[in-house]
Structure 1
Amino acid sequence: MQKAVEFKNRNWQVAAILHLPEHFNEKSTYPAIVCVHPGSSVKEQTAGLYAEKLAAAGFVALAFDASFQGESGGEPRYLEDPATRVEDIRCAVDYLTTLTFIDENRIGVLGICAGGGYAANAALTEKRIKAVGTVVASNFSRAYGELNTLQILEAVGKQRTAEARGADALIVPWTPASLEEAEKNGPVEQDMAEAIDYYRTPRGEHPRSSNKLLFISMGAAIAFDAFHLAEKLLTQPLFVVVGDRVGAFGSYRDGFELYNKAVSTNKSIHVVKGAGHYDLYDQPEATAEALSKLVPFFKTYL
């Protein structure tokens, strides 16, 4: 069972879907898991898939659209702001604590891709989160490690100046619209090809997953280290899932870095053999294996 809900972040509403267990009873109390979507995604895509499966396992799962994106409010549109993405998670926890059927001492978080990085970062300081799960977690800024980040930052500065003087906001695509378009610039790297296959084809596309990114977002995103101070502050039980078919987006590396840095005494990492980054978004065999580890983890610690 699903229910459309909203909660507040600052002065705008965040749109969410509450996934409820079978035979849900408002008079009972349940553990809850906040599901955090990747960059460029919306709540109906991979975060919603995991939320649905977690609800089937007996949890209340909350998947939401990031502020400035999807059905959520906030201006400017298409902004990817790491600090606000993390605050969205805190506000989601706020919302869950207002529901009489949620046990506020059994709230966890599960993040996919960039959402995994944001989930881990939120848990550093949000101790109402009692357990942390990640699937192909990406430390968002690392995705640009092979690019000239200084050049990007120079371009961001010039664009901000232009917009301050009245120019239109620059909106860029997260991914090329098709593999054919991407191939015009030469061979397409594995993770990018699979991103296109997930987001830009009927496999995973959604009308509100707009493929639009406000370019000046890059100024904050490049300097954001989701795992900063994890060696001191990430104390909650942690379960990390990665795939061993490694691509350029770096989630295999980032997953192991998060696992190694976390100070938690209860932490595990699971490698899904033969799975690439995007297999763990929606492919039945890969996601089933991930969930076969995540569900017992959350049942143990929530």
Structure 2
Amino acid sequence: MKKIIIAFLMPIFFINMSNAQTTQKQNQNPFTLVYDGAITENVKGKVNIHPVNYKIKEISIVANVYTPANYDPSKKYPALVIAHPNGGVKEQVAGLFAQRLAEQGFITITADAAYQGGSGGTPRYVDKPANRIEDIFSMADFISQFNGVNTARLGLLGICGGGGYSLKAAQADKRFKAVATLSMFNSGLVRRNGFMNSQLSTIQERLKKASEARALQQVSGGEVLYANNSTAPLNDEQIAKLPFDLYREGYIYYGKTHAHPNSSGNYTLSSLMDLMTFDANTNMDLISQPLLMIAGSKSDTKYMTDEAFPNAINSKDKELFLINGATHIETYWKPEYVSQEVNKLNEFFKQYLK
């Protein structure tokens, strides 16, 4: 029984923390951005942020577009679609990289996933891989029509869970001329096998619970079950006892230092039916575009990048780039690591989005 609880709870360590501990950064920023160095106002001649919205079928999507300094809509710019981590929102790490890469001359877009963050969709926190991949396709649709975008120079960056979904999106969508991942997290692999394959013995039992949750949900007026309904925050001692750097540092990042009220790692229990049958590492041979995969050398999620990278056998130009000394969460915010990552991404995208 203990293993089942860990399987459901541990991957969503920042549940409901952000509502209770909204950061001072978010309160002070007019765009509710919570990363260091975030834009506080649009100034002529500098990088600007443009909140936009569009629809995926009937679902309203909220996104931010960042334009480079001295942006001229009559000119043509390379553009980047940026997919956020599981449970994250556009105001956190995805926004940081969208802004920093806009500083390098790219038009960038990052959106809250459907059913999550500030975007619409009910029930809340449905977390299905097909939806996340469609989110990426739809960002490409929107940004391709934005003034100044050169659609022949479109790239894709996925962070954490967004990285796994970006690998899948790039397999099918050849509008993306180059694809990069940062701290790639293979959501299906972890939901199925547990982190570091720690839950192999409970796969069938967890699938049964997910199936029962769907059955309940489909009944008229049926209850929607979630993977975790706990609202009690952990204290420092409890955080220190969490297994793995990813969970300890992730709890602090999402729950304290970079909390945002729209960010929640919760998901409907029935979503596991889709998540547990998904694997970002399948069909990697369909990626023909140049590929850059970045991971921290000390990241306990690095094994997911290591497994996927060699399978991209038809990407003629591919590189695995390690950030020496970085853990998974540190690649999101630590200035010396972020600078290395931005420099590498800028070099990569400018080379292959000519």
Q: Identify the TM-score tier after normalising by the shorter chain.
A: over 0.9
1:35 equivalenced with 2:89 (yes/no): no
Classify 1:176/1:191 alpha carbon distance in 2 versus 1 (closer, same or farther; 3 Å).
Answer: farther
Query: Which of 135, 144, 161 is the matching residue for 1:88?
Result: 135
| Further displaced range: 173-182 or 285-294 | 173-182
Whether 1:272 and 2:323 are equivalent positions in the alignment is yes
SS at match of 1:246: coil
Of 255, 275, 295 in structure 1, the residue corresponding to residue 305 of structure 2 is 255
Partner of 1:240: 293
Name the structure 2 match of 1:183: 238
Provide the rounded CA distance (Å) in 2 between the counterparts of 1:184 and 1:49: 25
User: How many equivalent pairs are there?
Assistant: 297
| Pair 267,101 (structure 1): closer, same or farther in 2 beyond 3 Å | same
- How far does residue 178 in structure 1 lie from its aligned partner after superposition? 4.0
Q: Percent identity?
A: 33
* 2:107 equivalent in structure 1: 60
The answer to whether the aligner puts 1:222 opposite 2:273 as a matched pair is no
Q: Normalising by structure 2, report the TM-score.
A: 0.80
Residues 1:299 and 2:299 aligned together = no
Q: Residue 6 of structure 2 corresponds to which residue in structure 1?
A: none
- Residue matched to 2:38: none
Cα distance in 2, alignment partners of residues 76 and 85 from structure 1 = 15
The answer as to 2:264 corresponding to 1:210 is: yes
Match of 1:113 in 2: 160
Question: Given residue 117 of structure 1, which amino acid in structure 2 is its aligned partner?
Answer: G
1:193 to 248, 251, 258: 248
Cα distance per residue 1:163-211 (max 9 Å; x no partner): 233442112349986443893996532211111011111x111011034
With over 3 angstroms needed to count, the CA separation of the structure-2 counterparts of 1:164 and 1:55, relative to structure 1, is same
Code of the residue aligned with 1:257 in structure 2: it is E
Give 1 or 2: higher strand fraction: 1
Shift of 1:13: 2.1
Amino acid of the structure 2 residue aligned with 1:83: A
Unaligned runs of 5+ in 1: none
Contact 1:230 1:258 in 2 (8 A): yes
Render the CA deviation track for 1:264-301: whole Å, top value 9, x for unaligned. Answer: 00001111111000001111111111112111000111
RMSD value, Cα = 2.0
Question: Do 1:33 and 1:60's aligned partners in 2 also have CA atoms closer than 8 Å?
Answer: yes
Structure 1 pair 258–184 and aligned structure 2 pair: CA distance change class (3 A):
closer
Counterpart amino acid of residue 72 in structure 1: S
Q: How does 1:24-173 map to 2 (within 5 A)?
A: 24-144=71-191, 145=193, 146-147=198-199, 148-165=202-219, 166-173=221-228
Q: Which amino acid aligns with 1:240?
A: M
Seen in structure 2, the aligned counterparts of structure 1 residues 74 and 140 have a Cα distance that, compared at 3 Å, is same
Which amino acid letter does the alignment assign opposite residue 241 of structure 1? I
Shift of 1:55: 0.3
Among candidates 56, 63, 69, match of residue 16 of structure 1:
63
Distance 1:43 1:62 in 2: 9
Q: Assess, with a 3 A threshold, how the Cα gap between structure 1 residues 56 and 184 changes in structure 2: closer, same or farther.
A: closer
Deviation, 1:76, is 2.0
The structure with higher relative contact order (CA 8 Å, sep 6+) is: 2
Amino acid across the alignment from 1:290: E
State the TM-score, normalized to the length of structure 1: 0.93
Q: Which residue of 1 aligns with 2:14?
A: none
Query: Is this contact kept in 2: 1:177–1:200, CA < 8 A?
Result: no
Distance 2:189 2:112 in 1: 23
* Contact in 1 for aligned 2:240/2:248 (Cα 8 Å): no
